Every structure is written in structure tokens, then in C-alpha cells.
Homo-oligomer: A and B are copies of this chain.
Amino acid sequence: MTNKPIISLDAMGGDNAPEIVIQGAERALQRYPQMKLVLVGDEARLSQMLAQTKFARAIDIMHADERVKPEDKPSQALRNGKNTSMWQAIKLVADNQADAVVSAGNTGALMAMSKLQLRMMDGVTRPAIAGFFPTVTGSGCMLDMGANIECNEDNLVQFAIMGSAFVRSVLNREAPTIGLLNVGAEEQKGFEYLRVAASILSSDKLGLNYKGFVEGSDIGHGTVDVVVTDGFTGNVALKTAEGIADLFQHSLKKSFSQSIFSKMSYLTALPQLRRVRSLLDPRAHNGAVLLGLNGISVKSHGGTDGFGFANAIHVAVEMIKYGFMPEVSQTIAKANQVLEQEKGNDE
């Protein structure tokens, strides 16, 4: 890590930007005072807001006239977007003026702009969005969470390799276990491309800790460190989990507000209930990384608050600390060889 990491923030991206971005920046600086942040966006508005914080000295402002809108298609954003805060924030990383970029803006646009400006790592066919989530055993990682709605065996194998390196770096786990998300653990289940991907991931040559197919329930159970799936299924699974977490919070609230007695028991149980809430708080797991690029680009949930945005900055700091996972390209090259051999054998 550079002595003083510099992180560029898309100050205008997200449902409640720029407020949550500035709140997040303040929180992150409390945790990492040695860091430098660059807010990219409406200078007049940002400087006025920044004047009221005590961290003004650690935060630079870079003006950008426009912003990517939540409803913009990636292609649209790419065509018209060079003056947007998102494009300019990524450009700082592409120009080596920042070590990472964090945005709570439009996911598709962030992926398209990051891909174009930071370019893909050698051997990677498609980048993926990887994120963390809480599990019974601690925390796990899932990818792709929505960058590629349709995937083939090559994509999934690359996701597994990138996800494994990511977890090894950021969570510091020696040989992360990998599972392919499917509708059953039995070998004959699911799509053909899942079976081909499974066969490649099992190859000794890749040195991966591949454990086989996993099911949706294994996500929460934390059966493996890395859950690999296509972006459609990953996005649905992630959001399903969020909805069920909301349902739980709702049910707890409802149950404890039934009567005067239950309200009293709520007070005594409050520390424990708060602990569960914080363990499972999606904001605590905010910050998904666009893997497979020659640069660090972190996506924050669009609807998060300052606490959540600070956690996305935290993920960027961790990524800077561990660098770009140079082994990924090498392992992908090996996987491509195995794939070629498999295809050769079939013919």
C-alpha cells in the first residue's frame, strides 16, 4: 500500500448523494486518518457541505458538471458521460491519481465505465461483481452479483478464480473453499455449463479448493467461502436475502409491540436484539468489488447511508492494501488450457 492511499469518491452517485458520501467520508477518515479522499461532483455544493466538517483538510474536491442518473442505460451513460462525477472519479484511478474509486451510483454504468477506463486483466473475459454477506460461520463472498445476467462455463471458472484470490487477500483465508450455486448438490443437477465448469474447477492443475455444487441455503449457512454463480441468480439471491432480513426485523418488531408485557421484555432484550441486528446489518457488508479489472472499483449499495458508504470505502482500503492479485491471470491461463483440453477430448 502507498503510504497515503488516495480514494476517489463519486460524490453524486446514490439515492441520497452527496449527503451520504460526505457522511461516509467523515466516518472512514475517523477510522483511517492517514487516507486522502477526493470528492468528485458539484464543487459549489460540496465545498459548502465540506466546510461544516472537521475533515476538510483530508478531502479534496474535483468538479464535475453532471451525474449519471439511476435510470441511464450503460450504453447511454458511456456516450454522454465524460462530464459525469462517475466517469471523472474512475478517471483519477485510470490516470494513477487515485488508488481506488467508490461509487453508489448506477451499477451498469459503473461497470461499463470502469471496464473502459481501467481495462480488463489478462485472460479475463468478463469482470464480475463480488460482495460479502454474513453467514452462520462468519462471512462469505458471492459473485457475480449482477454484472453479467448470462454466463457460460468460462465465465464461471474465471469468477471462481477471481473470487478465491479476493477472499484470500481480503479475508486472509489460506485456501478459500469454492462452491458452484445449483439446484442440488448431486452431480447430474442443473445446466450443462455448470457441469463443465465443475469439471474444470476440479482439475488439480488449478490448485483451487473446489467443493462442488452448493444450494441457496448454503449461502446463509456459510458452507463455502466463495459462492460462484451467474449475475442473474446472484442478484436475485442477494436481494432475496435482504428481503428475508427485512421480514425478520419486521416480525421481531411486531412481536415485541403486541402488549405492554412484550414491550417491557423488549427493553430487557434490547442489547441482544441490537447485536443480532448489527451482525446481520446489510450496511455492515456494503461495498462490492468489480473484479477482473486493472484497477480497484467499488460499488456501494445505492440506498445506503453514511455508515454503509464508509464500509464501502473500507473495502477499497483493504483492496489497496492487498494489491491486484497477480496470481489471478496465471490461474486463468491454466484454466483456459484445461478448458481447451476438455473440449479437445470431447471432439
Contact = CB atoms under 8 A, between A and B. Distances in A.
Given A71-B186, A186-B71, A221 B236 contact: no
Interface stretch (A45-53, A239-247, A305-313): A239-247
Binding site secondary structure of chain A: helix
Contact of A135 (B186, B247, B268, B275): B247
Interface residues of A, number: 58
Given A217-B240, A236-B237, A149 B246 contact: no
A255 interface: yes
Nearest to A73: B188
B246 A221 contact: yes
Contacts of A56: none
Interface stretch (A30-38, A81-89, A258-266, A333-341): A258-266
Given A246-B136, A248-B276, A251-B276, A216 B191 contact: no
Interface stretch (A227-235, A285-293, A321-329): A227-235
A237 B251 contact: no
Contact of A220 (B136, B186, B244, B275): B244
Nearest to A272: B255
Contacts of A238: 216
Nearest to A238: B216
A115 B136 CA distance: 39
Contacts of A150: 191
Contact of A248 (B236, B237, B243, B280): B280
Interface of A: 71, 73, 134-136, 146, 149-150, 181, 183, 186, 188, 190-191, 215-221, 229, 231-233, 235-248, 250-252, 255-256, 258, 262, 264-266, 268-269, 271-273, 275-276, 279-280
Given A149-B191, A244-B248, 6 more contacts: A73-B188, A215-B239, A216-B238, A220-B242, A252-B276, A269-B272
